[in-house]
Chain A
Amino acid sequence: MSGRSHAASRLVVAAPYLWLLLFFLAPFAIVLRMALSDADTALPPYAPHFEGFATLREFLGKLDLENFRLLADDALYWDSYLQSLRLAGLTTLIALAIGYPLAYAMAAAPRHWRPVLLVLVVLPFWTSFLIRVYAWIGILRPDGLLDIVLGGLGLTDEPLRLLNTEAAVLIGMVYSYLPFMVLPLYAMLEKLDRSLLEAAADLGATPVTAFLTVTLPLSLPGILAGAALVFIPSVGEFVIPDLLGGPDTVMIGKVLWNEFFSNRDWPLASAVAIVLLVVLVLPLALLQRARQGREAQP
């Protein structure tokens, strides 16, 4: 390999790292530094300020973990974290329960149908996320579209009063994140070798056993990817609980918004964000390590 192309290939490898450094690690450092600061009625609304390397020691001395201590002591934060995790977990399970059969049917459909089905899954993305969530208000509100249809069919006598409940938030989140579950599952199931299922049947497996012993384990990476893609944004979701949820639905995204915009407590909001990040990254990292460990096995 010539020196020039060697340098070029290094540049190609370096580019994504540079991107991560510039747009992820640097902002993260800023947020972390803010989380360790104190709120202040100034502009910007936190202290201390960084005033050059000469006073670095003094600056570092003023940073502390007070915001994190506050988060740990106050039940409000604990509850909203737990509720966020619970709702995100439920969303993930429901999305999996709906998404798996959907992806399976898509992968089993005749070859010339698959692109059309794929477009149908992605189609909602062509409309703004906010507008789609907003549309659910019209469907779920008392005497809204859902009540009209169900009432018209004679299935319900009075309005369901779904809007501003946890159920509404779940419906909104499952609806919004379902494609993220379907797409990786479809990718996995579509490339599944059909002859493996024939081999299973040939060796005496009923269709159900063949599914449980062959299809399911082989689509596990797709399940994990889909679950991560649904779970992670669901935990921090702000728009959906804000529009569809009631006063009881306090998810951590909303708490963060309140701290930042209503209370103007930037440091505490930063601490909330960092804890959220740790809550999300830690299990993922462990999962990744477990997977690598399994692959490395002889």
Chain B
Amino acid sequence: MRKASPGSLRRAFQPWNDPAAKPLIEFRHVTKRFGGVTAVAEVSLSLYPREFFALLGPSGCGKTTLMRMLAGFETPDAGQILLGGTDITEMPPHLRPVNMMFQSYALFPHLSVADNIAYGLKRERLPRAEIAQRVAEMLALVKLDGLGKRRPDQLSGGQRQRVALARALAKRPKLLLLDEPMAALDRKLREATQFELMDLQSELGTTFMVVTHDQDEAMTMADRMAVMDHGRLVQIGPPDVIYEAPVNAYVASFVGDINVLEGHVVAVEGDLVRVETGITGMVELDEEAPALAIGASVLVGLRPEKLDLSHDEPPQPFNKVAGEIWDIGYLGDVTMVQVMVGGEGGWLVKVALTNRRRRAARPFAWEDKVWLSWDVEAGLVLKP
């Protein structure tokens, strides 16, 4: 088990809600095209000091380009990038107080671990003794003491990742960029490293920006995350907001699992919206729906873990549908059940059941006739 370190206690940290807070990084209407393809389109974004920010999106969504513009490897076609209020749009990478941990780690194969870490410090022409001291500090920070003389090819994947991290942190940058930092690690190591990275970040107070396509990674580590699609920022917010209140169907289905139903609005009474979906009948949602017109077509999203499964018909008038169990996937902590609704050839709805008791008999079996139900607050109205 991981020991709680004092730095890992996260206090309420929401500089983005504070109008007086000065951003460390500002993207202002940044656009980047490669040939005819727009990789980043009109992106405006502010990162705050000490923030752990994650850029999430599928490959090709422009997240790596956005990061590379921050490091100085790409120049925007339009817009500005500011660091601490200074325009760095045209500044070459070697002058920026920003360091990056590369996805491939990009360790210098001809240099030892210590020389790799010292590389940036030597460029600053620091005194020899100070370089040696900082290298030792960094090695201790990433728990690689004693391995300074090794060469990168004599290290394991996890150790190489730590060297890359130490090298990027050695210059004490204001902003650390991490490009898919966990991509090359196996699952166990990845989880451990995620928490270590968070501890390290709160200990050092450096602003971190992680680019990843892995939503678990982004949600675990980030104070705030942005979901990107086709070069645009679709939604920016803390992980729980992104998950529980996604702005549209794309975000809802990219972050986490979701069942999406098509329907049209039948009634709006205050916070209560009724949607007729055809498949499930009437759905009642507790949603601060912004002016939904009667008859408007909408998408209703239902997260698998917010659905209940029972053999008997629940008493409530709405928010339920009968179906048949089509598939059961036992994952250990949860069981994913797929329920077919709407008869043969109908729709498959995913339900996540938490396995709370160790020896309980599995209550559901293949081809069971079951009822799906959910609370009024479970459903989401999504923009298509």
Interface residues of A, Cβ cutoff 8 Å to B: 193, 195-196, 198-206, 209, 213-214, 217-218, 298
Contact B108 A202 (CB under 8 A): no
Contact A196 B108 (CB under 8 A): yes
Q: Which single member of B71, B100, B108 contacts A214 (CB below 8 Å)?
A: B108
With contacts A193-B104, A193-B106, A218-B109 taken as known, whether A201 is within 8 angstroms of B99 at the C-beta atoms is no
Q: Can you list 19 pairs linking A and B with CB atoms under 8 Å apart?
A: A193-B104, A195-B104, A198-B102, A199-B102, A199-B106, A199-B108, A199-B167, A201-B92, A201-B93, A202-B93, A202-B94, A202-B99, A203-B167, A203-B171, A204-B94, A204-B95, A205-B94, A206-B94, A298-B150
Q: State how many residues of chain B have any CB contact under 8 Å with chain A.
A: 27
- A295: nearest chain-B partner, CB-CB: B151
- Say yes or no for B186: interface residue by CB 8 A criterion: no
Bound-state CA distance A193–B107 (Å) is 10
Contact B92 A218 (CB under 8 A): no
- B102: nearest chain-A partner, CB-CB: A195
Given contact pairs A195-B106, A200-B108, enumerate 16 new A-B contacts (beta carbons under 8 Å): A193-B106, A195-B102, A195-B104, A196-B108, A198-B106, A199-B100, A199-B107, A202-B71, A202-B99, A203-B120, A204-B124, A204-B171, A205-B119, A214-B108, A217-B110, A298-B149
Contact A205 B123 (CB under 8 A): yes
- B123: nearest chain-A partner, CB-CB: A204
- Say yes or no for B73: interface residue by CB 8 A criterion: yes
With contacts A205-B94, A206-B94, A218-B109 taken as known, whether A200 is within 8 angstroms of B104 at the C-beta atoms is no
Task: Give, as a whole number of angstroms, the nearest-CB distance from B8 to chain A.
Answer: 28
Q: Chain A residues near B71 (CB, 8 Å)?
A: 198, 202
Where chain A touches its partner, the secondary structure class is helix
Contact B99 A203 (CB under 8 A): yes
Bound-state CA distance A146–B107 (Å) is 49
Q: Chain B residues near A196 (CB, 8 Å)?
A: 106, 108
Bound-state CA distance A201–B96 (Å) is 10
Bound-state CA distance A195–B105 (Å) is 9
Task: Give, as a whole number of angstroms, the nearest-CB distance from A162 to chain B.
Answer: 42
- A297: nearest chain-B partner, CB-CB: B151
Bound-state CA distance A203–B99 (Å) is 7
Q: Chain A residues near B93 (CB, 8 Å)?
A: 198, 201-202
Contact A202 B123 (CB under 8 A): no
Bound-state CA distance A154–B36 (Å) is 49
Task: Give, as a whole number of angstroms, the nearest-CB distance from B195 to chain A.
Answer: 26
Task: Give, as a whole number of angstroms, the nearest-CB distance from A132 to chain B.
Answer: 38
With contacts A202-B71, A202-B99 taken as known, whether A209 is within 8 angstroms of B104 at the C-beta atoms is no
Q: Chain A residues near B110 (CB, 8 Å)?
A: 217-218
Q: Chain B residues near A209 (CB, 8 Å)?
A: 123
- B96: nearest chain-A partner, CB-CB: A202
Contact B102 A203 (CB under 8 A): no
Task: Give, as a whole number of angstroms, the nearest-CB distance from A189 to chain B.
Answer: 14
- B110: nearest chain-A partner, CB-CB: A217
Bound-state CA distance A102–B154 (Å) is 34
Task: Give, as a whole number of angstroms, the nearest-CB distance from B243 to chain A.
Answer: 33
Q: Chain B residues near A201 (CB, 8 Å)?
A: 72-73, 92-94
B163-184 interface (Cβ within 8 A of A): 167-168, 171
Contact B99 A198 (CB under 8 A): no
Contact A198 B94 (CB under 8 A): no
Contact B109 A204 (CB under 8 A): no
- A195: nearest chain-B partner, CB-CB: B106
Task: Give, as a whole number of angstroms, the nearest-CB distance from A188 to chain B.
Answer: 12
Bound-state CA distance A199–B154 (Å) is 20
Q: Chain B residues near A204 (CB, 8 Å)?
A: 94-95, 120, 123-124, 171
- B68: nearest chain-A partner, CB-CB: A198
Fill in one digit per residue for B84-116: 1 if any A CB lies within 8 Å of its CB, else 0.
000000001111001110101011111000000
Q: Which 5 A-B pairs have the closest CB atoms?
A: A203-B120, A204-B123, A199-B106, A195-B106, A201-B93
Bound-state CA distance A193–B103 (Å) is 13
Q: Chain A residues near B73 (CB, 8 Å)?
A: 198, 201
Bound-state CA distance A59–B98 (Å) is 79
Bound-state CA distance A298–B147 (Å) is 11
Q: Counting chain A CB atoms within 10 Å of each CB, which of B71, B98, B100 scores highest?
A: B100
- B170: nearest chain-A partner, CB-CB: A203
Task: Give, as a whole number of angstroms, the nearest-CB distance from A293 to chain B.
Answer: 15
- B124: nearest chain-A partner, CB-CB: A204
Q: Chain A residues near B100 (CB, 8 Å)?
A: 198-199, 202
Contact B119 A203 (CB under 8 A): yes
Bound-state CA distance A195–B104 (Å) is 8
- A200: nearest chain-B partner, CB-CB: B119
Q: Chain A residues near B104 (CB, 8 Å)?
A: 193, 195
B29-84 interface (Cβ within 8 A of A): 71-73
Task: Give, as a whole number of angstroms, the nearest-CB distance from A283 to chain B.
Answer: 23
